[in-house]
Amino acid sequence: MKFLAAFAAAFLAASSPVWAAHAAPPTAAKRVVLPTDVRPDRYEIHVVPDAARLTFDGHVKIALTVVRPTDRIVLNAADLTLGKARLSGAEAAPRVVWNEQEQTAAFVFPKTLTPGRYTLDIDYTGRIFQQPAGLFYLDYTAPDGSKRRGLYTQFENSDARRFAPMWDEPGVRSVFSLSVETPAGQMAVSNMPVAEDTTNATGRRTVRFADSPKMSSYLLFLALGDFERVSTMAGPVDVGVVVRKGDTAKAQFALDATVKLLGYYNDWFGTPYPLPKLDLIAGPGRSQFFSAMENWGAIFYFDYAILIDPRLSTESDRQQVFVTIAHEVAHQWFGDLVTMSWWDDLWLNESFASWMENKATDHFHPEWNIWLSTQGGQQRAMRLDSRAGTHPVITDIPDVFAAAGAFDDITYQKGQAMVRMLETYIGEDAFRDGVRAYIRQHAYGNTVSNDLWAALDKVAPGKNVSQVARDFLTRPGVPLIRAKAGAGGTTLTQDRVAADPTQRTPQTWRTPVRAAGLAGETWQGVVSAAKPQVAPLTGAVVVNAGQTGYFRTLYAPELWAKLAPRFATLAPADQLGLLYDSRALGEAGYAPMSDFLALARNAPAGADPVVLDTLAMQLAALDDLYEGRPTQDAYRAFARARLAPAAARFGWDPKAGEPDNAAIARRTLLGVLGDMRDPAVIAEARTRFQRWLADPASLEGAGRRTVLAIAAANADEATWEALKRQALASKDITDRSRLLSYLALSDDPKLIDKALALALSGEISPTDAPTIIAAVAGGHPDRAYDFAIAHRAQVDEFLEPASRTSYYAGLAAGSRDPAMLQKLAKLKATVPASARGEVEKAAGSIRYRLDVIAKRLPEADRWLAAGGR
């Protein structure tokens, strides 16, 4: 599943309390799992959806094995009404006992069942949901103006139980035979090709799909609607993109990318893709939680994550679509062919797919410098990982509510950074050999982390891979490598980054470190709290050279004085490392805030576009802390002076032959300057906005989004209303959603209230409503949170059940008001115990922000007032 990094602040994951140093908490919560005395072998599921009434009839025949004598068969079921149930060989019908809290149904028999094979038949009915959980619908307007409804499924992490009664746990693999009754003219898509398509006398069709391989329940998929498919062969595999009728031209980029990636992964993993077809299915709308889902052989994407419109899409869109496809196709091996046994090892799926998306993208598009761009995600994880509420990558997951919270930046971004660090540590070839052996050994099975460690230890003897990996995966926190000049070179010691008092417990990691001098000399070694190292390097030394390690570097003042003036001569990756570390360590009190500000002042306007993009975003993040302070104008004057020369370099309009990253940096620089009230930028954006109202063809792609966002952020009521009219009139679903989100960017409280009211007015689609509220939270978290809580029952209907706590906590996480802590305490009391870590993280974020505002901004103010001295 592709977690929405763009909404990362709104989806703070559930966690257990911070643990000091070990792989498990002192007392892990009791895991809520199904009994193992009965095993499913094969499901035959038949469903008859009624899209108009939002219900469906279902029948499931489960071939199962009773392993040990028992009087009951317990499986998962939620939001289903069970009808007649029959077990082969049983004289009497079972009694059904529900456990709604654990989402189980027990079929209890009057006599004990002896070990052997049985068949359980169940009739049932279910609901078609508004939010992507179970079988859900997405409404849209067709090109001819008619209203249409598509049906899709979303089962990760625990919603297959809303589609049929089943063993809905990742460690239980079964064969699935799926059939669906559908109106004539509609296309049905599932994991496997169609095996049989019949039509009865009334015109109703029954489509039966070929049996799946043994797989986990959350990977099952069904879509039904007015679709069409574009396809090509990639060797023996039929690769297709399924879209709403009329959108096939937008699918070609995704189709081409998938064919490339499939061949690359076949080679890299050493095991060919095993299914006869691979479909990518596009659906209108969006989720607040994810953008795509790796169903085996039938990957689901929301439109914006897969379709490219030459008129509306940007360079960033093309990069993100390619990266998202690379992520989900990688899951066909890591996650589908080999699946984690339980959600505590979710990293085996998501960390690897997140790392592989970058590796594959860099292979095909080195000009994108994806390893530079991905540092932003790693930094989000490091900030989260150095304050209250963090959790280990491998964390205790007692139930499905906690499992939903594991889809976060710790699992995805810290996990992928750790994978990259291990690959660098043991070497690309050895690492790939280990992964290939792991895939071969465990294909069509389930694994735990130790299975992968065993494979990597075999290919890298003497490297202690399992020890290094366990340190980073089972221990929360961020290592701090301290560097100072010493006898014989640069002395490296290891500490822990503590952004707040909860992180001051001593911690040790065996940390692979690569250091380099500016003349090209290098050193590599493993540093831990128990084993400092001396790198035989002197002068200006870059620790974490290439930025492939998961740690922060704190340079002693004498080393910083040698390195910082050489910033312009460093490789772009190391420039990013210095920018990120100096700001984070300055805010945490380890280094002067002036270290970051001086780097920002001296950053050359001719730097790599990704470096300038990052600099703009880092300065914008500080500006957010200054909101409402009397010294904000002075800070903004400093920041605008730093960014204006870079913005002038790129200008407003694209240049022939410029790299994609230049276009992305242009949009960021102008957007940040607009947010900082640069008068020239705002004036130009307003001029171009008015021209666009008169002639929509005057703006396309990134230029269109840049202008509209700046105009919206600085809108008066007339501008806001004009933008609203354009949004509601848009015929493109993705563009309409984007235009609606711009209505949430204003600083005018009256316009913000209008945007919030629009979210629940019924004028917009259900999938856009929570997006607008979340967009408001970007600049007005308190207002957005109060509004959402005041309308909680209505907002809940727009959200997946397992992600609701994350959503509300995320709205509050950007607050600068201490009163929000009390509001979060009230929220915490209303959510499941296993999900309360999400609220704790939001509270930790607020406390950290308040601490930086109180203690670090005055230091920055003094430096600015002194003219940067």
Catalytic positions are 328
Is 203 in contact with 168 (CB distance < 8 Å)? no
What is the C-alpha separation between 233 and 380, in angstroms, rounded? Answer: 39
DSSP 505-520: S-----EEEEEEETTS
With a CB cutoff of 8 Å and minimum separation 6, the contacts of 142 are: 148, 226, 244, 245, 246
What is the C-alpha separation between 8 and 5, in angstroms, rounded? Answer: 5
What is the C-alpha separation between 356 and 305, in angstroms, rounded? Answer: 18
Helices 660-675 and 679-694 pack at an angle, to 10 degrees, of 110
Number of Cβ within a 10 Å radius of residue 362: 16
Is 828 in contact with 840 (CB distance < 8 Å)? yes
Is 227 in contact with 251 (CB distance < 8 Å)? no
DSSP 148-193: EEEEEEE-TTTTGGGTSSB---TT-EEEEEEEEEE-TT-EEEESS-
With a CB cutoff of 8 Å and minimum separation 6, the contacts of 861 are: 631, 634, 635
Number of Cβ within a 10 Å radius of residue 641: 10
With a CB cutoff of 8 Å and minimum separation 6, the contacts of 27 are: none
What is the C-alpha separation between 646 and 317, in angstroms, rounded? Answer: 22
With a CB cutoff of 8 Å and minimum separation 6, the contacts of 826 are: none
| Residues β-bridged to residue 121 | 61, 86
What is the C-alpha separation between 774 and 781, in angstroms, rounded? Answer: 8
Cis peptide before 358 (omega within 30 of 0): no
What is the C-alpha separation between 694 and 225, in angstroms, rounded? Answer: 37
Backbone torsion region of residue 651, taken as left when φ is above 0, otherwise alpha when ψ lies between -120 and 50, otherwise beta: left
The b/e string for 182-209 (b: 16+ C-beta within 10 A; e otherwise) is beeebbbbbbbeeeeeeeeeeeebbbbb
Is 743 in contact with 750 (CB distance < 8 Å)? no
Number of Cβ within a 10 Å radius of residue 268: 18
